[in-house]
């Protein structure tokens, strides 16, 4: 948990690091984070929160959080929800479960809405709620335990679209009437509320500022793909990690954009050290 050891008349600058996982903190091919460990330990030593901000679910992120001993709040399912663990911010340490803020309908309500749309319009699709963990494992290459964790969702639903593209356009219109949207993933189209990684990060940063007003937060966000851009735009410093496996995409104006020379966790570590050892060093406790 972030320390509050600052006198009332002093405002210290503190980094808050928000990061994507796949092909950013984790290597694209091996999923290793080893190259980022020195930078992670340096951030921990300076009491800087490390906020995972990923498409992964709460259960999927738990494995990596445990491995790295990271206790900070985190953002799941492409900004669909924020999870605040016990003992973080104002959530009591004795609480038995994490506090979850979902930006839209809870998962059970979301899947019920999708069922109604399917029945009303005759659309053909399969969501994770319709599929067994074994089937998802076969479709994705995940192990069955990993697929089980991917099914434990809070505020978004991946769909395998079995219908025509013209039907998909009508489906998008039906979702919009309910305040929902779709985003394109690798294999699936994801249905979620009209939120994104940047909006969820802004909400969480407001919580940090409210609970720890004596700290002047400098937000660093790291990602590699188009769905990371809202997070990078919401940050004070955006870091676009090179990904040679991804097609090029348009990059909007992002103030103070950092582009490391290396990809994955090597580039992640390069960027973090360049920030904490650079011009900000004298201002960060």
Active site residues: 20
Secondary structure (DSSP) of 158-227: EEEE-S-HHHHHHHHHHHHHTTEEEEE-SS-EEEEES--HHHHHHHHHHHHHHH-TTEEEEEEEEE-SGG
Angle at 187 between CA 179 and CA 133, to 5 degrees: 90
184 Cα distance to chain centroid: 16
**Burial class for 203, CB neighbours closer than 10 Å (0-12, 13-18, 19+):** middle
CA neighbours within 13 Å on the CB side: how many for 253?
A: 0
Distances (CA, A) of 213 to 10, 11, 48, 189: 11, 8, 15, 39
């Amino acid at each position: 948990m972030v320390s509050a050891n600052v006198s009332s008349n002093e405002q210290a600058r503190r980094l808050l690091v928000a990061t994507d996982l796949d092909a950013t903190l984790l290597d694209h091919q091996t999923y290793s984070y080893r190259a980022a460990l020195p930078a992670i330990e340096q951030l921990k030593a300076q009491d800087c929160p490390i906020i995972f901000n990923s498409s992964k679910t709460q259960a999927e992120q738990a494995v990596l959080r445990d491995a790295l001993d990271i206790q900070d709040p985190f953002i799941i399912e492409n900004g669909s929800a924020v999870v605040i663990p016990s003992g973080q911010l104002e959530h009591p340490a004795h609480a038995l479960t994490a506090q979850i803020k979902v930006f839209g309908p809870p998962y059970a309500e979301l899947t019920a809405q999708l069922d109604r749309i399917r029945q009303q319009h005759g659309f053909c699709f399969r969501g994770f709620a319709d599929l067994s963990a074994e089937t998802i494992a076969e479709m994705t290459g995940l192990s069955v335990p990993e697929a089980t964790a991917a099914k434990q969702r809070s505020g978004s639903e991946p769909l395998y679209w079995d219908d025509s593209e013209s039907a998909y356009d009508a489906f998008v219109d039906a979702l919009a009437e309910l305040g929902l949207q779709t985003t394109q993933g690798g294999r699936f189209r994801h249905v979620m509320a009209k939120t994104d990684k940047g909006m969820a990060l802004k909400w969480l940063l407001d919580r940090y500022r409210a609970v720890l007003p004596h700290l002047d937060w400098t937000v660093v966000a790291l990602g590699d793909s188009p769905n990371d851009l809202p997070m990078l735009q919401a940050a004070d410093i955006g870091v676009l990690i090179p990904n040679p496996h991804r097609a090029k995409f348009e990059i909007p104006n992002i103030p103070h954009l950092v582009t490391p020379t290396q990809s994955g966790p090597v580039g992640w570590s390069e960027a973090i050290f360049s920030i904490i050892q650079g011009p900000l060093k004298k201002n960060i406790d």
